[in-house]
Structure 1
Amino acid sequence: MTTFVDRVELHVAAGNGGHGCASVHREKFKPLGGPDGGNGGRGGDVILVVDQSITTLLDYHHSPHRKATNGQPGAGDNRSGKDGQDLVLPVPDGTVVLDKQGNVLADLVGQGTTFIAGQGGRGGLGNAALASARRKAPGFALLGEPGEARDVVMELKTVADVALVGYPSAGKSSLISVLSAAKPKIADYPFTTLVPNLGVVTAGSTVYTIADVPGLIPGASQGKGLGLEFLRHVERCSVLVHVLDTATLESDRDPVSDLDIIEEELKQYGGLDDRPRIVVLNKIDIPDGQDLADMIRPDLEERGYQVFEASAVARTGLKELSFALADIVAKARAAKPVEEATRIVIRPKAVDDAGFTVVKEEDGLFRVRGEKPERWVRQTDFNNDEAVGYLADRLNRLGVEEELMKAGARAGDGVAIGPDDNAVVFDWEPTMMAGAEMLGRRGEDHRLEAPRPAAQRRRDREAERDDAQREFDEFDPF
Structure 2
Amino acid sequence: MSRFIDRVTIDAVAGNGGHGCSSVHREKFKPLGGPDGGNGGNGGDVTLVVDPQVHTLLDFHFRPRAKAGNGRPGEGGNRNGANGDSLVLKVPDGTVVLDTDGQLLADLVGEGTEFVAAQGGRGGLGNAALASRARKAPGFALLGEPGEERQLLLELKSVADVGLVGFPSAGKSSLVSVLSAAKPKIADYPFTTLAPNLGVVTAGDDTFTIADVPGLIPGASQGRGLGLDFLRHLERCAVLAHVVDCATLEPGRDPISDIDALEAELAAYQPVLAQDQLLGDLAARPRVVVLNKVDIPEADELADLVEGEIAERGWPVFRVSAVAHKGLAELKYGLAELVDTYRAEQEKPVARRPVIRPKAVDRSEFTIVDDPDIPGGYIVRGQRPERWIRQTQFDNDEAVGYLADRLNRLGVEDALVKRGAEPGAAVTIAGVTFDWEPAVPMADEVPLTGRGTDVRLERNERVGAAERKAARKLRRQRLDEQDGQSLGWSDDD
What SS does structure 1 have at the residue aligned with 2:70?
Answer: coil
Separation in structure 1 between the aligned mates of residue 358 and residue 96 of structure 2, nearest angstrom:
21
Q: Which amino acid aligns with 1:110?
A: G
Separation in structure 1 between the aligned mates of residue 363 and residue 2 of structure 2, nearest angstrom:
49
What SS does structure 2 have at the residue aligned with 1:432?
Answer: coil
- Match status 1:381 vs 2:389: no
The equivalent position to 1:276 in structure 2, one of 286, 305, 310, is 286
1:452-472 deviations in Å (ceiling 9; x for gaps)? xxxxxxxxxxxxxxxxxxxxx
TM-score (norm 1): 0.87
1:88-131 deviations in Å (ceiling 9; x for gaps)? 21111111111111111111122222211011100000011111
The equivalent position to 1:426 in structure 2, one of 424, 431, 434, is 434
Q: Which amino acid aligns with 1:94?
A: G
Deviation at 1:281, TM superposition (A): 0.9
What SS does structure 2 have at the residue aligned with 1:200?
Answer: strand
What SS does structure 1 have at the residue aligned with 2:115?
Answer: strand
Partner of 1:83: 83
Deviation at 1:331, TM superposition (A): 2.2
Q: Which amino acid aligns with 1:331?
A: T
Separation in structure 2 between the aligned mates of residue 353 and residue 438 of structure 1, nearest angstrom:
32
Partner of 1:367: 379
Separation in structure 2 between the aligned mates of residue 21 and residue 119 of structure 1, nearest angstrom:
23
Separation in structure 1 between the aligned mates of residue 268 and residue 128 of structure 2, nearest angstrom:
63
Answer yes or no: is the 8 Å Cα contact 1:14–1:119 preserved in 2. yes
Partner of 1:409: 421
Alignment of 1:47-446 (within 5 A): 47-271=47-271, 272-339=282-349, 352-362=362-372, 363-418=375-430, 423-434=431-442, 440=448
Answer yes or no: is the 8 Å Cα contact 1:136–1:444 preserved in 2. no
Q: Which amino acid aligns with 1:118?
A: A
Deviation at 1:344, TM superposition (A): 11
1:398-420 deviations in Å (ceiling 9; x for gaps)? 111122222222222211112xx
Answer yes or no: is the 8 Å Cα contact 2:134–2:444 preserved in 1. no
TM-score (norm 2): 0.84
Answer yes or no: is the 8 Å Cα contact 2:165–2:172 preserved in 1. yes
What SS does structure 2 have at the residue aligned with 1:122?
Answer: coil
Deviation at 1:298, TM superposition (A): 1.8
Deviation at 1:328, TM superposition (A): 1.9
1:32-86 deviations in Å (ceiling 9; x for gaps)? 2110001111111111122222221122112212211211111111111121111
Answer yes or no: is the 8 Å Cα contact 1:37–1:74 preserved in 2. yes
Structure 1 residues 214 and 357: alpha-carbon distance in aligned structure 2, compared to 1, 3 A threshold: same
Of 426-435 and 23-32, more deviation after overlay is shown by 426-435
Structure 1 residues 24 and 279: alpha-carbon distance in aligned structure 2, compared to 1, 3 A threshold: same
Answer yes or no: is the 8 Å Cα contact 2:405–2:442 preserved in 1. no
Partner of 2:35: 35
Separation in structure 2 between the aligned mates of residue 346 and residue 93 of structure 1, nearest angstrom:
26
Deviation at 1:346, TM superposition (A): 10
Answer yes or no: is the 8 Å Cα contact 1:71–1:84 preserved in 2. yes
Separation in structure 2 between the aligned mates of residue 345 and residue 196 of structure 1, nearest angstrom:
36
1:173-231 deviations in Å (ceiling 9; x for gaps)? 11111221211121221111111111111223322111110111122222222222111
Larger RCO, structures 1/2 (Cα 8 Å, 6+ apart):
1
Separation in structure 2 between the aligned mates of residue 320 and residue 127 of structure 1, nearest angstrom:
75
Separation in structure 1 between the aligned mates of residue 180 and residue 383 of structure 2, nearest angstrom:
53
Separation in structure 2 between the aligned mates of residue 426 and residue 6 of structure 1, nearest angstrom:
48
Separation in structure 1 between the aligned mates of residue 352 and residue 3 of structure 2, nearest angstrom:
27
Answer yes or no: is the 8 Å Cα contact 2:369–2:378 preserved in 1. yes
Separation in structure 2 between the aligned mates of residue 192 and residue 345 of structure 1, nearest angstrom:
46
Of 145-154 and 43-52, more deviation after overlay is shown by 43-52
1:336-381 deviations in Å (ceiling 9; x for gaps)? 2311667999998666421211112444321111111111111011
Answer yes or no: is the 8 Å Cα contact 2:21–2:141 preserved in 1. yes
Structure 1 residues 342 and 165: alpha-carbon distance in aligned structure 2, compared to 1, 3 A threshold: farther
1:306-345 deviations in Å (ceiling 9; x for gaps)? 2221111222222222222222222222222311667999
Separation in structure 2 between the aligned mates of residue 10 and residue 345 of structure 1, nearest angstrom:
28
Q: Which amino acid aligns with 1:429?
A: E
Separation in structure 2 between the aligned mates of residue 159 and residue 438 of structure 1, nearest angstrom:
66
Structure 1 residues 13 and 264: alpha-carbon distance in aligned structure 2, compared to 1, 3 A threshold: same
Separation in structure 2 between the aligned mates of residue 372 and residue 442 of structure 1, nearest angstrom:
28
Structure 1 residues 154 and 285: alpha-carbon distance in aligned structure 2, compared to 1, 3 A threshold: same
Answer yes or no: is the 8 Å Cα contact 1:124–1:379 preserved in 2. yes
Separation in structure 2 between the aligned mates of residue 199 and residue 2 of structure 1, nearest angstrom:
16
What SS does structure 2 have at the residue aligned with 1:256?
Answer: helix
Paired-residue identity, %: 66
Of 435-444 and 115-124, more deviation after overlay is shown by 435-444
Separation in structure 1 between the aligned mates of residue 450 and residue 294 of structure 2, nearest angstrom:
90
Separation in structure 2 between the aligned mates of residue 94 and residue 348 of structure 1, nearest angstrom:
30
Answer yes or no: is the 8 Å Cα contact 1:386–1:442 preserved in 2. no
Aligned residues: 441
Structure 1 residues 266 and 152: alpha-carbon distance in aligned structure 2, compared to 1, 3 A threshold: same
What SS does structure 2 have at the residue aligned with 1:296?
Answer: helix
Partner of 2:15: 15
Of 157-166 and 425-434, more deviation after overlay is shown by 425-434
Deviation at 1:2, TM superposition (A): 7.6
Separation in structure 1 between the aligned mates of residue 223 and residue 357 of structure 2, nearest angstrom:
33
Answer yes or no: is the 8 Å Cα contact 1:414–1:426 preserved in 2. yes
What SS does structure 2 have at the residue aligned with 1:207?
Answer: strand
Separation in structure 1 between the aligned mates of residue 226 and residue 204 of structure 2, nearest angstrom:
35
Separation in structure 1 between the aligned mates of residue 362 and residue 347 of structure 2, nearest angstrom:
35
Q: Which amino acid aligns with 1:193?
A: T
Structure 1 residues 30 and 77: alpha-carbon distance in aligned structure 2, compared to 1, 3 A threshold: same
1:142-195 deviations in Å (ceiling 9; x for gaps)? 000000001010000011111001011101111111221211121221111111
Of 426-435 and 91-100, more deviation after overlay is shown by 426-435
